[in-house]
């Protein structure tokens, strides 16, 4: 499975999309009518109006699934901006795409000082724990795994699913789906913490490799934090940790850059798990 992370306009989600999803859980027809009134994009409005014409008497389970999913993808994973005629798609920002398990691995490397990235079996076990009951984590790894924070007023797995994940427990304020989002405030906190977290990761790798030296350590940190655009030509760090470890330096930089871009634009992040597999360990 793969995962795609994109920046998203928080106001569009909170003022238009999420209220539509919440209302539509009980009255999809009324929710679609409200959505059509807020959208200024002709293509999206035409798709919504086609759903309205078909009619439905209940929640989202009563609407044309294929047509509805087209609308949902467009709402969630496009950039939107407000105009005098309503909300329209904007120029799409760059996205991060990667293997799901590997991206979770990278996120744990960045955020969890105790994560044993050098130990294949133990790392796999901890990855499983990070996105499994009781879902204690609410940080970057949980976001990648589909855990919602804050708790939404609708069941996200009923609106969109790619592999059938739909956990929604209001009494525990727990929601897990195949897609998730984080508010700009959270994304900014992640971005602010990245320089420290990335330095700590490299320091752990330097300690792990001793007495072997890692002369490129500071250059890698500069690359991860966006101070330089290319990594050093020769990287000793993370070598010998499996066939994918040689790509970790670049992929950590790509993941960090996506967080920084969203924070710089004061936007949130969405993540969706998609099809596809890749062997990496």
Residue 277's pLDDT is what? 38
Residue 240's pLDDT is what? 80
Domain ends where: 71, 89, 107? Answer: 89
Same domain membership, residue 222 and residue 107: yes
Average pLDDT, the chain: 92
Q: Is residue 198 a contact partner of residue 205, using CB atoms and an 8 Å limit? A: no
Q: What is the DSSP string of 187-240?
A: HHHHHHHHHHHHHHHHHHHHHHHTTS--TTHHHHHHHHTTSSSS--S---TTTT
**Residue 4 located in a structural domain:** no
Residue 213 region, left (φ>0) first, then alpha (ψ -120 to 50), else beta?
Answer: beta
Same domain membership, residue 119 and residue 80: no
> Which residue is it, tokens 């330095």?
199
Residue 49 sits in which domain range? Answer: 9-89
The per-residue pLDDT for range 127-158, each reduced to its tens digit, is 988 888 877 778 999 999 999 999 999 999 99
Please give the model's pTM, rounded to 2 decimal places: 0.92
Same domain membership, residue 120 and residue 60: no
Same domain membership, residue 223 and residue 165: yes
Same domain membership, residue 121 and residue 62: no
- What is the rounded CA–CA span in Å between residue 49 and residue 202? 53
Same domain membership, residue 127 and residue 58: no
Residues in the chain: 281
Torsion of CA 236, 239, 243, 249, to 10 degrees: -60
User: By three-state DSSP, how is residue 179 classified?
Assistant: strand
**Residue 201 located in a structural domain:** yes
Same domain membership, residue 168 and residue 234: yes
Same domain membership, residue 109 and residue 48: no
The two three-digit tokens of residue 208, written as one number = 């792990």
The per-residue pLDDT for range 49-102, each reduced to its tens digit, is 999 998 888 899 889 988 999 999 999 998 899 999 999 998 777 899 999 999
Same domain membership, residue 190 and residue 103: yes
How many domains would you assign to the chain? 2
**Residue 221 located in a structural domain:** yes
- What is the rounded CA–CA span in Å between residue 42 and residue 189? 36
Same domain membership, residue 114 and residue 76: no
**Residue 213 located in a structural domain:** yes
Q: Is the four-CA dihedral 193, 104, 108, 241 of positive or negative sign?
A: negative
Same domain membership, residue 119 and residue 243: yes
């Amino acid at each position: 499975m793969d995962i795609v992370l994109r920046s998203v306009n928080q106001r569009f989600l909170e003022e238009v999309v999420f209220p539509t999803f919440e209302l539509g859980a009980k009255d999809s027809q009324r929710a679609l009518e409200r959505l059509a009134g807020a959208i200024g994009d002709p293509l999206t409005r035409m798709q919504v109006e086609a759903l309205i014409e078909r009619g439905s008497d209940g929640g989202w389970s009563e609407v044309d699934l294929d047509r509805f999913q087209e609308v949902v993808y467009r709402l969630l994973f496009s950039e939107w901006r407000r105009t005098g005629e309503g909300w329209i798609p904007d120029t799409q920002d760059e996205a991060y795409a990667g293997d799901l398990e590997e991206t979770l691995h990278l996120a744990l490397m960045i955020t969890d000082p105790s994560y044993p990235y050098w130990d294949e079996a133990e790392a796999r076990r901890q990855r499983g724990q990070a996105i499994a009951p009781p879902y204690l984590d609410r940080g970057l790894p949980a976001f990648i795994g589909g855990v919602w924070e804050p708790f939404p007023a609708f069941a996200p797995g009923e609106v969109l699913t790619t592999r059938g994940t739909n956990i929604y427990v209001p009494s525990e304020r727990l929601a897990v789906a195949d897609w998730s989002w984080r508010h700009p405030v959270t994304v900014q906190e992640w971005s602010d913490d990245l320089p420290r977290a990335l330095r700590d990761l490299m320091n752990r790798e330097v300690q792990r490799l001793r007495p072997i030296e890692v002369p490129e350590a500071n250059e890698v940190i500069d690359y991860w934090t966006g101070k330089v655009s290319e990594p050093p030509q020769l990287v000793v760090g993370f070598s010998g940790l499996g066939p994918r470890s040689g790509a970790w330096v670049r992929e950590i930089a790509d993941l960090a850059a996506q967080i920084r871009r969203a924070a710089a634009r004061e936007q949130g992040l969405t993540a969706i798990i998609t099809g596809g597999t890749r062997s990496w360990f």
